C-alpha cells in the first residue's frame, strides 16, 4: 500500500483522536479507529505479529521486516495516540471533575453519529445480522451496569485481567479502564504503577499482549468470513455504550482510586429535567450537535483511500 507523507499525517491525526478518547474513562479508542476507517487495518496489523515476522527480521533485514509489520502505519498511529493521551489526560480529568455534563454531551453526540456511519457499512441485512446487532447492544449495556467485583491482586488474576481489558480496549464502545474497575483490578494496577511493582506490571502486560494477539486474530478471521455480522455486532457494542456516556447521571456507588479519592463507579442515567444540579441543557445540546457533526469530518477523512 503506497502512501504519501500527507496520508501518514492523517493517520497521526486519527491517532490523536483515539488518544483523546482513551483518556476519557468509558470511551473506547477502538470506536474512533472504527469510524475513521482504520479499524480493520489496525486489527490486521496487530494479528500479523507472529514468529514468522521476526524470522523475516533475522533473514531479510529490517527493511523487509518494517514493511511486513506495516511499521510506518504503526509509527504514525502510535505517535498520535501517545501524544494525545499524555497531553489530553490532565484536560480530561479537569473536564470530568468540573464540567462532566458538557464533556459527556460531546461524546454522546459523537457516538450517536458513529452508529449511523458504522451501520451503513453493512451491505446486507439478514435475520442473523439483526440478531448480532441486538446481542452486541445488550452485551455493551449489560457491561455498563455491572457491579464491581472485590479487589484481587493474585498474579494469575492480573494476567487474565490484562487479557480481558486489552480486548475491551480494541472493541468499539467498550472501555478497557472501566472493565478493570468492574473486575476489581483497577486499584491494584494503579497501585502497582504508583509503587513501581515490576512483577505485577509484567504479569499484567504479559496478559495484555497474549489477549491482544489472540483476540486480533479472532477479529481478523471474523471480518474475513462474517464481515456483515461482525460489523453488526460492533455497531451493537457502540449502541449499547450510549448508556455509559449519557450526560445526566445519578451516582449509585463509588470507588476509591489509588490516591484515596472517591470517584463514581455505578451511575444511573436520568432525565435532564430530573437531574440533581444544573442540567446545562442548552450548552449540552450544542455540544451534542458539535460531537455529531465532527463525525462527518472523521468519516469524510476516513473514506479517503489511504
Q: Give start and end residues of each alpha helix (H) in 48-152.
A: 51-60, 62-68, 71-98, 100-119, 127-144
pTM greater than 0.75 (yes/no): no
- Cα–Cα separations (whole angstroms), residue 255 to 32, 41, 147, 189, 194: 28, 37, 11, 14, 18
pLDDT of res. 264: 66
What's the count of helices (H) and strands (E) in the chain, helices before strands? 15, 2
Q: Which of 134, 38, 129 is nearest to 81 (CA)?
A: 38
pLDDT of res. 281: 93
pLDDT of res. 305: 46
Nearest-angstrom CA–CA distance, 173 and 242: 8
pLDDT of res. 306: 45
pLDDT of res. 288: 93
pLDDT of res. 97: 77
Cell numbers 459527556 correspond to: 104
**What does DSSP assign to residue 256?**
E
Classify residue 197 as exposed, middle or buried by CB count within 10 Å of its CB (0-12, 13-18, 19+): middle
What own/partner pairs with CB < 8 Å and gap ≥ 24 does 223-226 have?
223/40, 223/43
pLDDT of res. 174: 67
Q: Which of 77, 72, 61, 64 is nearest to 29 (CA)?
A: 77
Q: What are phi and psi of 94, to 5 degrees?
A: -65, -45
pLDDT of res. 304: 54
Residue 68 contacts residue 48 (beta carbons within 8 Å)? yes
Q: Name the stretches of the chain with pLDDT < 70.
A: 1, 25-27, 89, 147-151, 173-175, 178, 255-265, 298-306
In our burial notation (b when 16+ CB lie closer than 10 A, e otherwise), range 108-124 reads bbbbbbbbebbbeebee
Q: What are phi and psi of 242, to 5 degrees?
A: -60, -35
Residue 168 contacts residue 208 (beta carbons within 8 Å)? no
For residue 266, give the 3-state DSSP assignment.
strand
pLDDT of res. 298: 64
Going by C-beta distance under 8 Å and a sequence separation of 6 or more, which residues neighbour residue 112? 242, 288, 291, 292
Q: What are phi and psi of 200, to 5 degrees?
A: -65, -40
Amino acid at each position: 500500500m503506497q502512501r504519501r507523507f500527507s496520508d501518514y499525517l492523517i493517520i497521526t491525526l486519527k491517532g490523536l483522536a483515539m488518544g483523546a478518547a482513551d483518556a476519557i474513562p468509558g470511551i473506547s479508542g477502538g470506536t474512533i479507529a472504527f469510524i475513521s476507517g482504520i479499524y480493520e487495518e489496525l486489527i490486521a496489523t496487530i494479528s500479523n505479529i507472529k514468529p514468522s515476522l521476526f524470522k523475516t527480521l533475522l533473514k531479510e533485514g529490517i527493511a523487509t521486516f518494517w514493511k511486513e509489520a506495516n511499521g510506518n502505519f504503526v509509527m504514525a498511529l502510535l505517535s498520535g495516540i501517545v501524544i494525545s493521551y499524555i497531553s489530553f489526560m490532565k484536560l480530561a480529568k479537569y473536564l470530568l471533575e468540573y464540567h462532566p455534563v458538557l464533556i459527556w454531551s460531546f461524546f454522546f453526540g459523537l457516538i450517536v453519529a458513529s452508529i449511523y456511519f458504522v451501520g451503513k457499512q453493512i451491505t446486507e441485512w439478514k435475520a442473523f445480522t439483526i440478531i448480532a446487532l441486538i446481542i452486541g447492544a445488550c452485551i455493551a449495556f449489560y457491561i455498563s451496569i455491572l457491579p464491581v467485583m472485590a479487589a484481587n491482586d493474585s498474579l494469575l488474576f492480573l494476567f487474565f485481567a490484562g487479557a480481558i481489558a486489552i480486548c475491551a480496549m480494541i472493541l468499539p464502545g467498550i472501555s478497557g479502564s472501566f472493565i478493570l474497575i468492574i473486575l476489581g483490578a483497577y486499584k491494584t494496577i494503579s497501585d502497582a504503577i504508583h509503587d513501581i511493582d515490576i512483577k505485577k506490571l509484567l504479569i499484567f502486560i504479559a496478559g495484555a499482549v497474549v489477549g491482544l494477539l489472540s483476540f486480533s486474530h479472532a477479529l481478523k478471521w471474523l471480518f474475513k468470513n462474517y464481515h456483515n455480522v461482525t460489523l453488526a455486532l460492533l455497531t451493537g457494542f457502540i449502541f449499547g455504550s450510549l448508556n455509559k456516556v449519557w450526560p445526566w447521571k445519578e451516582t449509585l456507588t463509588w470507588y476509591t482510586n489509588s490516591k484515596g479519592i472517591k470517584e463514581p463507579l455505578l451511575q444511573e442515567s436520568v432525565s435532564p429535567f430530573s437531574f440533581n444540579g444544573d442540567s446545562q441543557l442548552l450548552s449540552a445540546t450544542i455540544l451534542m450537535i458539535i460531537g455529531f457533526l465532527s463525525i462527518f469530518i472523521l468519516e469524510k477523512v476516513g473514506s479517503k483511500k489511504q
